[in-house]
Structure 1
């Protein structure tokens, strides 16, 4: 354990030292020329689209002759400019140049990396601590399953977690997968998760064409998975501009197979897989050596992203998907307890009612064990005896408000015979009600 902790500490220190060294090191015109020439050749030899590779190589040379890199007096700045120019021509967001002499020399040596037991344990511990990408799994109002998935990890290690998640979702009326913060990962984990939403007959999800060997690798849903499949369960996927790579494949697969409804923003647009290659023993360049080919569209999402069925700001995607799913379930007669309550709350959150500032101000004050605060033209709710945190109040009408983050609770203001606010009523989805009269906060 001591050696394990020491390896982590040394790794952090090495990263810090390397970053400082990058800033301090100057880069000569001679080295710039060699780097540009080397990257151009690597692109011609390996990039999945040979014609585009020639264009990138020619453009870098043109930029070099035009002294576009003259002010790049550090390796980090030079790498950033090269990345910018390569992506400008290719529109390929996977292409990236990095300054890392240690790794570049190791790659250039051609020697296979020796497995480091401490680093392997560290990587496995990190993946496990991140629950193999499954950040949150819960049941939303109306018996809707929600999964916040932040990455597609190794299915050999994460298969049991996937099985547990799918078991948790099995009795829900529908499922929402959130990949708004998912930057990608492994296509075989995409394959495994997708398999749970189709029957046992294999379905062609995606193919990867590799320039080397002129070969195509196909990915189909698996004939066998552990746990329960959900081929008929309504499925939604939430996307954003940060959804990238394998997370885009997941979305694109399900969209084109008409298996899921996508809601949110157009994704980042990175479809082409590849690897890192050394440049002059100091830099590395990630070169896409393959490309995704969808069996239905015969193309992919590179440079354009995956366009969702329903476009909304990513911050509204979950509420929109939840509302859309519950509305369709209710239309089909599949009504779970609390559906009407949830529908009204979601509609109010997406389309808040307009209440005048005068009325809002009249609600502010102390109510026995609750506090209403008017701040920045907005009402906030607080339970002083429990927390100092302020919760945004969402108007559902002139007198009724939802509380952000508390979908099962609402507040209704009560007027006295004199027309003044004299109490507020706490309303719960279970049907329970309680009353808090206007007056000083009573200590518990």
Structure 2
């Protein structure tokens, strides 16, 4: 049966949050707060994008988790397709294929400094050859600028694959992800075998902005925590929890963080605080700043 009114929409979204949010106590706090607002009639006059924006603001007011959201999409999507777990993965893979597995640009800058503009953390399986091809193109540069200023997220395994290129072997413990649904921890280590040469013993700079999010933050935070890269730019958005999407209506989806990342060095993550740059500059100045530092450092 189609969900038609706001009470049903919010009730369905809260049920998903209560069942799946990685912090059950915070889920209960969210549930109480939003049901009180619903009972007070705060959502009665809202619909569509305005309802989603208001609910998202109230969710994050109680629990400042950037992945906890009610999303509106203009084009309707069948609930049966949305509810299929495999459909979500196929949609992600289709997006990655259309987006060249997240690699927007590869460039050789003055001074033989490499630059990779990466917009998504691709799937570690399908995206492996594209990531390898990009790393092959910069393999002989003297330093690398990894531009994540417009990176919006993606696969944790893809982030681990990117990280692997900057370490000598498969013996570096990067981070763990705890999943509530299975009460289990999945460890992420550098990969022992890669389709392109590793990028070792040379400076790496990661460029960030206030737009950098989720999987992009994972890569920046992990390389910084392990002392393998310097972060230049702005503090990132601060979304560290792997997230599932659940359909509420044909136009509305609730995103529920179902896991949490724990970095192997820091014992924590970037949730709510973002990745803090080593060199804080405006995002539009990050490339120029890092390029200049790399050239000066190398002489």
Tell me, yes or no, whether TM beats 0.5. Answer: yes
SS at match of 1:157: coil
The aligned counterpart of 2:56 is: 83
2:71 paired residue among 73, 98, 102 = 98
1:36-115 correspondence runs (5 A): 36-72=10-46, 74-99=47-72, 103=77, 105-106=79-80
- Distance in 1 (CA, whole Å) between partners of 2:102 and 2:249 is 36
1:262-341 correspondence runs (5 A): 262-279=231-248, 283-330=252-299
Aligned residues: 295
Deviation for aligned residue 1:307: 0.5
User: Does structure 1 retain, via aligned residues, the 8 Å contact 2:6–2:44?
Assistant: no
1:34 paired residue among 8, 12, 21 = 8
Deviation for aligned residue 1:305: 0.6
- Distance in 2 (CA, whole Å) between partners of 1:38 and 1:227 is 46
Deviation for aligned residue 1:319: 0.8
1:4-15 correspondence runs (5 A): none
Q: Deviations over 1:355-383 (max 9, x none)?
A: xxxxxxxxxxxxxxxxxxxxxxxxxxxxx
SS at match of 1:212: coil
More contact order relative to length (CA 8 Å, sep ≥ 6): 2
The aligned counterpart of 1:239 is: 208
- Distance in 1 (CA, whole Å) between partners of 2:237 and 2:229 is 19
Distance 1:216 1:282, change over 3 A: same
User: Does structure 1 retain, via aligned residues, the 8 Å contact 2:21–2:256?
Assistant: yes
Q: TM-score, normalised by structure 2?
A: 0.90
Q: Deviations over 1:328-353 (max 9, x none)?
A: 222xxxxxxxxxxxxxxxxxxxxxxx
Distance 1:278 1:138, change over 3 A: closer
The aligned counterpart of 1:365 is: none
- Distance in 1 (CA, whole Å) between partners of 2:202 and 2:93 is 34
Q: Deviations over 1:4-34 (max 9, x none)?
A: xxxxxxxxxxxxxxxxxxxxxxx97xx3223
Q: Deviations over 1:30-68 (max 9, x none)?
A: x32233333333222211011110111111012123322
The aligned counterpart of 2:175 is: 206
1:159 paired residue among 128, 131, 146 = 128
- Distance in 2 (CA, whole Å) between partners of 1:214 and 1:107 is 27
1:84-233 correspondence runs (5 A): 84-99=57-72, 103=77, 105-106=79-80, 124=94, 127-128=96-97, 130-233=99-202
User: Does structure 2 retain, via aligned residues, the 8 Å contact 1:253–1:294?
Assistant: yes
Deviation for aligned residue 1:123: 6.0
User: Does structure 1 retain, via aligned residues, the 8 Å contact 2:121–2:216?
Assistant: yes
Q: TM-score, normalised by structure 1?
A: 0.62
1:258 paired residue among 227, 232, 251 = 227
- Identify unmatched segments of 5+ residues in structure 1: 1-26, 331-444
User: Does structure 2 retain, via aligned residues, the 8 Å contact 1:98–1:284?
Assistant: yes
RMSD: 2.5
Distance 1:251 1:39, change over 3 A: same
Distance 1:130 1:223, change over 3 A: same
- Distance in 1 (CA, whole Å) between partners of 2:86 and 2:168 is 40
Deviation for aligned residue 1:107: 6.4
Distance 1:138 1:107, change over 3 A: closer
